[in-house]
Amino acid sequence: RKEVEQDPGPFNVPEGATVAFNCTYSNSASQSFFWYRQDCRKEPKLLMSVYSSGNEDGRFTAQLNRASQYISLLIRDSKLSDSATYLCVVNVGTGGFKTIFGAGTRLFVKA
Amino acid sequence: NAGVTQTPKFQVLKTGQSMTLQCAQDMNHEYMSWYRQDPGMGLRLIHYSVGAGITDQGEVPNGYNVSRSTTEDFPLRLLSAAPSQTSVYFCASSRMEGGGDYEQYFGPGTRLTVT
């Protein structure tokens, strides 16, 4: 079983749709959580950090449920420019870093 | 600031050849790391470093060596290239004081093909 698992995708949605990404992690020592975005043949870039209290940045909302070891990302009013791969990322432990990436979920937003 | 730079962008090697992938950052980040990305696998950590002179193995270290003689540079060496090392390699850096809640900055990647 992978340490970080994401919906396999791809997701194909029309502009304006709401789309939800799900992620689960298996290591209870996980300390911090993120969503990264990766465009085709480009490097990953931070989209947002994820906190137990939840956080929102414009059309994007991220949630963390530590009890269920579950992370989510919601995109409202999808734009064509949201088309990308969304990576769930978990940092495990303290001190030295162990960063685990999910395999990613590809999103296609169509006009 | 150039951020994180990687060279070369593309490389083709024959089986058994060795080479070094270069990575440099100008943000004075303590933490640097190397990942490989294969289709359907996400990014997997190869080696990482928490400061000059300190390196450690990640998830998939076999066949790769690293060193960190300066804060800025973190080269990755392929000792004897194998077709299984065909992949896209990303270098990343981040701050690390106070824990692990910092953004990782990635270089543009090196696309390596081993024939």
Number of A/B CB contacts below 8 angstroms equals 57
For A97, nearest residue in chain B (alpha carbons): B100
Mean pLDDT of A98-108: 91
> Which of A56, A52, A55 has its CA nearest to residue A68?
A52
For A48, nearest residue in chain B (alpha carbons): B103
Q: Which amino acid is residue A33, in one-letter code?
A: F
Structure-model confidence comparison of residues B111 and B42, the more confident one? B111
pLDDT band at A4 (very low <50, low <70, confident <90, very high): very high
Which residues contact residue A71 at a Cβ distance below 8 angstroms, ignoring those fewer than 6 apart?
A22, A23, A24, A25, A33, A35, A50, A62, A63, A64, A65, A88, A90
Q: Which amino acid is residue A78, in one-letter code?
A: S
Which structure tokens are listed for B5?
């730079």
**Is pLDDT at B6 greater than 80 in this prediction?**
yes
Per-residue confidence (pLDDT) for residue A30, from 0 to 100: 85
For B106, nearest residue in chain A (alpha carbons): A43
Determine whether the interchain pair A43/B109 forms a contact, defined as Cβ–Cβ distance below 8 Å: yes
Average pLDDT over chain A reads 92
**Torsion sign over Cα B57, B45, B6, B9:** positive
Determine whether the interchain pair A101/B100 forms a contact, defined as Cβ–Cβ distance below 8 Å: no
**Is pLDDT at B97 greater than 80 in this prediction?**
no
3-state SS record for chain A: CCCEEECCCCEEEECCCCEEEEEEECCCCEEEEEEEEECCCCCCEEEEEECCCCEEECCEEEEEECCCCEEEEEECCCCHHHCEEEEEEEEECCCCCCEEECCCEEEEEEC
* Numbered residues of chain A with Cβ closer than 8 Å to any chain B Cβ: 4, 31-32, 34, 41-46, 49, 87, 91, 93-94, 96-104
B19 at A interface, C-beta within 8 A: no
The pairing of beta strand A11-14 with beta strand A105-110: parallel
Q: What distance in Å separates the CA atoms of residue B71 and residue A20, rounded to the nearest whole number? A: 39
| Minimum mean pLDDT range among A9-18, A42-51, A94-103, B52-61 | A94-103
Which structure tokens are listed for A110?
């169509």
For B95, nearest residue in chain A (alpha carbons): A97
Which structure tokens are listed for B94?
């981040």
User: Which residues does chain B have within 8 Å of residue A103's beta carbon, measured at their own beta carbons?
Assistant: 40-42
Of the candidates A32, A41, A103, the beta carbon closest to that of B42 is on: A103
CB B64 within 8 A of CB B82: no
B89 at A interface, C-beta within 8 A: no
Residues B13-34: pLDDT tens digits? 999 999 999 999 999 999 999 9
Mean pLDDT of A78-101: 86
Residues A12-56: pLDDT tens digits? 999 999 999 999 999 888 888 999 999 998 999 999 999 888 899
Which structure tokens are listed for B20?
């070094």
